[in-house]
Amino acid sequence: MQLNTLKPAIGSKHAKRRVGRGIGSGLGKTAGRGHKGQKSRSGGFHKVGFEGGQMPMYRRLPKRGFTSLGQHLYAQVRLSDLQALPVDDIDLQALKQAGVVGQAVRYVKVIKSGELSRKVALKGLTATVGAKAAIEAAGGSLV
């Protein structure tokens, strides 16, 4: 094999479609653009969503809803989730490793849902008033 004998695999290369090059090419005369109209002209284009001058759909429909950019940064954890964890010192990293919260979460709040019967120490987490009372009643603490 020599460099000057290398060729691409058969069928991997094909000739570029040449429009507007005569009737024999199959794409002569109107060059596949059809007859008349804005899209047949050179330079004839319109922006995405343009509906020929009528009020476009995105302006006819009412605006609704709102998506917060920080919705994935916050998470809530139940007391029952803390009860199921095998560790006693619980922080954000421990919750992520256990799969209780997602990897993108930055802020966690413990809510009073379920039961907590063992002593846990929460570090760097916030809790509702009821959850805080339940944690301290079980002998735990919030730092």
**Domain boundaries of the chain, sorted by first residue:** 74-142
Tell me, what's the pLDDT at 69?
Answer: 79
Tell me, what's the pLDDT at 129?
Answer: 97
Tell me, what's the pLDDT at 71?
Answer: 80
Quickly tell me which residue has 């063992």 as its tokens.
118
End-to-end CA gap in the chain = 73
Tell me, what's the pLDDT at 97?
Answer: 95
Tell me, what's the pLDDT at 143?
Answer: 86
pLDDT < 50 regions, the chain? none
Tell me, what's the pLDDT at 133?
Answer: 96
Residue 15 corresponds to which tokens in the numbers above?
């000739």
Tell me, what's the pLDDT at 90?
Answer: 95
Please count the residues of the chain. 143
CATH architecture of 74-142: Ribosomal Protein L15; Chain: K; domain 2 (3.100)
Residues 95, 30: Cα–Cα separation, whole Å: 65
Tell me, what's the pLDDT at 75?
Answer: 94
Tell me, what's the pLDDT at 70?
Answer: 80
Q: Kindly give, in sequence order, each residue whose CB lies less than 8 Å from that of residue 135, ignoring residues fewer than 6 positions away.
A: 79, 82, 110, 116, 120, 122, 127, 141, 142
